[in-house]
Amino acid sequence: MATPHALLPKGQEQDVHIQTTFPDLVELDALRLTVIVDNEVDIMTSVPKELGLTTQAQVLFKDKRHLDKEKSTATSTGAGAATVEHAYDHQASQGEGGPVRTIGFDFNDLCCGAHGLSILVTGIRGQIEHRILFDTGPHSAIFLENAKRLEIPFEKIETIVLSHWHVDHSGGMLAAVAKCVQARKDVKNGPDKKPASVNVDVHPDRPYQRGICLARPPPPSFPGTVHSERGGRVTPPGAEKADRPITSEYVAWKADPTIQELEAAGAKVFHHRDAHVISEGFFGVSGLIPRNTSYETGIPNHMQWSPESRCWVPDPDILDERYLVARVKGKGVVVLSGCSHAGIVNVCQDVQRAFGMNQAATEINQESSSSGDGNLAEVAEESTMVESDDDKGVESSNKLFYVVGGFHLAGSSVETRIAETVRDLGKISPSYLAPGHCSGWRAKAALENAMPGRVASLGVGSDFFITAPASSSKARRTRNIK
Ligand SMILES: [Zn+2]
Ligand SMILES: [Zn+2]
């Protein structure tokens, strides 16, 4: 079993607990999460009320531009045909009780899904608001398109936090930086006179390029070589020019933007290896996430290119990943995890340690080496039992409230971990979870089965608004409704 210290760079084997605490993190009155990029489009599935979800479709329904439009138009473009405008006149519509209002709805206004993650995070405390961007999706086109549809206020984004160096999170970063800088320039004569540059918070270990090793092909049989009738080997004409047989195949992902490119776009880059807070303590960014569970072993065939030795080298752990935390008064800690390559149970355990709520973590550590059968009914029962701790006086604002992001449980090499992950998340028992991005439908279904009513979809355009309850007693009442 890997120990946290075994994974620390040499010379940094100090207490992990100290590295991952957030002493300056303040409690927020409200936290808003606006999903700009995710793999999923889901404007229909219901979500627990306490998460304050407004889907993008609901925003469009309420949008004044649509309400006022009593004459709507639709555009259709057939293959090879000219664009045709259809006008629909609802002005004279009458229902039994009086005039009827018709809302125009154009599916072109909805965000599109893409493999990646990007979430606008807004913290509210009294009259003060801070906004940061957590990841930027896989490429600029999808990031900009969805951001435009969601009317993201780029001039108010203070920092772009990159969870880890993977292009499905960093691919839109240059575009995001450029948009923030331009938006600030556009309002520089306005009341808040923000500097034009935008902060970018990254881990210092940017790899040259990352990728995966495909399954090795069968042992090579040189296609140009045949056996002669006399038992010798001959090479047909031209075959000697053939390439040497391939022994391994790698897929190189598009490289992450370089620090130079980010700076040229207008970013002020901050390198952080350790846990720290940003935006006046509204948000915390983790340091190295300790790997404690026996089954969360990264991506076995994940590689990075070594420019020094000019070869692909194993990189299963993706040690540069960090998570983001915020704390909502009376609700608890909200965690955003980009891909959870450290394992979402390890992420949650680290959050528990950082906030001094580590009882469940200890229990899991003791059991993680034994093979769990992941019986989902048992998980549900255990999860209910852990929930009852609320009534024993555990401060609800120091509970794990909402775990959001990619849980990386999709793909044959990691789907075998679903049962154990669900079992241990059940013990940790966050109030709510939103497995998105690379979580995969099998993990989502297993989580919903184990913790019914506590799992939300993280579809693009979703706008979660988590607010402090009016009083702690009300908070306790609300938490009992699952
Ligand atoms: Zn990812
Ligand atoms: Zn990743």
**pLDDT digits 0-9 by tens, 184-219:** 988 865 556 667 899 999 999 999 999 999 865 544
Between residues 60 and 424, the one the model is more confident about:
424
Domain-located, residue 306: yes
Higher pLDDT, 357 or 235: 357
Q: Please tell me the predicted confidence (pLDDT) of residue 436.
A: 98
Measured in Å, residue 67 CA sits from the centre of ligand 1 at: 38
Q: Which residues surround ligand 2, an ion (CB under 5 A)?
A: 166, 339
The whole-number pLDDT of residue 247 equals: 72
Q: If you measure from the C-alpha of residue 168 to the centroid of ligand 2, how many angstroms do you get, rounded to a whole number?
A: 7
Distance between Cα 151 and ligand 2 center (Å):
27
Ligand 1: distance of its center to the CA of 242 in Å?
Answer: 38
Residue 122 identity = T
Return the pLDDT at 111. Answer: 96
Residue 382 has pLDDT above 70, yes or no: no
Mean pLDDT of 158-171: 98
In a domain, 77, yes or no: no
Is residue 245 assigned to a domain? Answer: no
Distance 406 CA to ligand 1 centre (A): 7
Tally the domains of the chain.
Answer: 1
445 inside domain: yes
Report CA dihedral (52, 56, 61, 66) to the nearest 10 degrees: 140
Distance 202 CA to ligand 1 centre (A): 15
- Report the pLDDT value the prediction gives residue 133, as an integer from 0 to 100: 98
Residue 166 Cα to ligand 2 middle (Å): 5
Ligand nearest to the CA of 118: 1
Kindly state the average pLDDT of the residues 73-80. Answer: 52
Quote the ligand 1 centre to 77 CA distance (angstroms): 35
CA of 385 from ligand 1 middle (Å) equals 33
Of the ranges 72-86, 147-161, 236-250, the best mean pLDDT one: 147-161
Is the confidence at residue 327, as pLDDT, over 90? yes
- What average pLDDT does this structure show over 152-158? 96
Cβ neighbours of residue 384 closer than 8 Å, sequence gap 6 or more: none
Q: Is the pLDDT of residue 474 over 90?
A: no
In the reported structure, the alpha carbon of residue 439 is separated from the centroid of ligand 1 by a whole-number distance in angstroms of: 9
What local confidence, expressed as pLDDT, does residue 104 receive? 74
List residues bridging with 251 in a β-sheet.
212
Q: What is d(CA 91, CA 102) in angstroms, rounded to the nearest whole number?
A: 9
Q: What is the mean pLDDT of residues 71-99?
A: 54
Lowest mean pLDDT segment, chosen from 7-11, 34-38, 215-219, 404-408: 7-11
pLDDT in tens, 12-50: 444 333 335 798 999 999 999 999 999 999 999 999 999
Residue 378 scores a pLDDT above 90: no
Label residue 89 exposed, middle or buried (CB < 10 Å: 0-12, 13-18, 19+).
exposed
**How far apart are the CA of 90 and the centre of ligand 1, in A?**
45
Instruction: Tell me which ligand sits closest to the C-alpha of residue 164.
Output: 2
pLDDT in tens, 262-301: 999 999 999 999 999 999 999 999 999 999 999 999 999 9
Distance of CA 213 from the midpoint of ligand 1 (Å): 17
Nearest ligand to the C-alpha atom of residue 340:
2
Q: State the pLDDT confidence band at 423, using cuts at 50, 70 and 90.
A: very high
Residue-range definition of the domain harbouring residue 312: 17-61+110-211+252-480
Share of the chain above pLDDT 90, in %: 61
> Closest-lying ligand to the alpha carbon of 114?
1
CA of 377 to the centre of ligand 2 (A): 31
Tell me whether residue 78 is in a domain.
no
If you measure from the C-alpha of residue 229 to the centroid of ligand 1, how many angstroms do you get, rounded to a whole number? 55
Q: How far is the CA of 394 from the centre of ligand 1 (A)?
A: 34
Mean pLDDT of the chain: 81
Q: Tell how far the Cα of 389 is from the centroid of ligand 2, in angstroms.
A: 34
Question: Residue 170 C-alpha to ligand 1 middle, in angstroms?
Answer: 9
Taking the centre of ligand 2 as the mean of its atom positions, its distance from the CA of residue 440, in whole angstroms, is 14
87 is a domain residue? no
Distance 39 CA to ligand 1 centre (A): 10
Closest ligand to residue 410's CA: 1
pLDDT digits (tens, 9 = 90+) for 346-372: 999 999 999 998 655 556 655 554 444
Ligand 2 center–CA 167 separation, angstroms: 8
428 CA → ligand 2 middle, Å: 23
Residue 225 has pLDDT above 70, yes or no: no
CA of 116 to the centre of ligand 2 (A): 9
Q: How far is the CA of 259 from the centre of ligand 2 (A)?
A: 19
What is the reported pLDDT for 375? 43
Specify the pLDDT at position 437.
Answer: 98
- Ligand 1 centroid–CA 169 distance in Å is 6
Q: What is the pTM of this model?
A: 0.81
CATH number at residue 428: 3.60.15.10
